Structure 1
Amino acid sequence: MNLPVFPLAPAALFTPSWQAALELGYARFGDCTRPVQRRHKGPLRVQKHLYAEGPEVCQHIIVHPPGGIAGGDRLDISASVGPGAWAQLTSPGAAKWYRAGGPAYQNLTLEVSPGATLEWLPQETIVFSAAQAELSTRIDLQGDGRLFYWDVVALGRPASGERFDLGHFQSRLDIRRDGQLLWHERQRIVGDDGLLDSAIGLGGDPVFATLLVTGEIDSELLEQCRSLDHAVRGDLTQLPGLVVARCLASEALLARGWLVELWRLLRPALLGREAVPPRIWST
Structure 2
Amino acid sequence: MTFENTLQSDHAPAALARSEGRVELRYRVKESGSKLAHLYQRGCGRVRFPTVDHADYPEAVLINTAGGLTGGDHMSYQITLDEGSGLTISGQAAEKIYRSVGSMAVIEAEIHVARGAVLEWLPQETILFEKGRLRRMNTVYLEAGSRLIALEATLFGRTAHGETLRAASLQDGWKVWRNGKLLWFDNFVLEGDIHAKSLRPAVLAGAKGMATILIADDQAESYQDVARDSVRENCVRAAVTCRDELLIIRVLADSGYELRKSLARILTRMRTELSGHTVALPKVWENQ
Partner-residue secondary structure (3-state), 2:201: coil
One of 263, 278, 283 as aligned partner of 2:282: 278
TM value normalised by structure 2:
0.89
Q: Which amino acid aligns with 2:117?
A: A
Say which of 231, 234, 256 aligns to 1:229. 234
The aligned residue for residue 148 of structure 2 is: 147
8 Å CA contact 1:263, 1:275 repeated in 2? no
Q: Which moved more, 1:150-159 or 1:117-126?
A: 150-159
Tell me, yes or no, if the aligned pair for 2:41 and 2:47 is still in contact at 8 Å.
no
- 1:5 to 1:183, Cα distance in 2 relative to 1, 3 A: closer
**Per-residue deviation at 1:121?**
0.4
Tell me, in whole angstroms, the C-alpha distance in 2 between the residues paired with 1:190 and 1:58.
38
Contact 1:21–1:76 under 8 Å retained in 2: yes
Relative distance call for 1:22 and 1:220 in structure 2 (3 A) is closer
- Report what 1:178 is aligned to: 179
* 2:108 counterpart of 1:107: yes
2:261 maps to what in 1? 257
Return the alpha-carbon distance in structure 2 between the equivalents of residues 80 and 136 of structure 1.
17
Q: Which residue of 1 aligns with 2:243?
A: 239
Q: What's the C-alpha RMSD, in Å, of the aligned pairs?
A: 2.0
Distance verdict in 2 for CA 1:159–1:265, change over 3 Å: closer
Q: TM-score, normalised by structure 1?
A: 0.90
Tell me which amino acid in the other structure corresponds to 2:230.
Answer: C
Deviation at 1:62, TM superposition (A): 0.5
1:251/1:150 Cα in 2 relative to 1: closer, same or farther (>3 Å)? same
Distance in 2, Cα, partners of 1:155 & 1:114? 37
Please give the alpha-carbon distance, in whole angstroms, between the structure 1 residues aligned to 2:261 and 2:191: 27
Partner of 2:3: none
The number of equivalent residue pairs is: 276
Check 1:276–1:158 CA distance in 2 against 1; reply closer, same or farther (3 A cut). closer
Question: Quick one: distance in 1 between partners of 2:60 and 2:224?
Answer: 33
Give the percent of matched residue pairs that are identical in Structure 1 and Structure 2: 25
Give unmatched runs, 5+ long, in structure 2.
Answer: 1-5
**CA offsets per residue over residues 4-40 of structure 1, 9 Å max, x none?**
9987544xx3420012111011111134111111101
Judge conservation of contact 1:115–1:146 (CA < 8 Å) in 2.
yes
Q: Deviations over 1:226-268 (max 9, x none)?
A: 43133x2113223322221111112223222222212222223
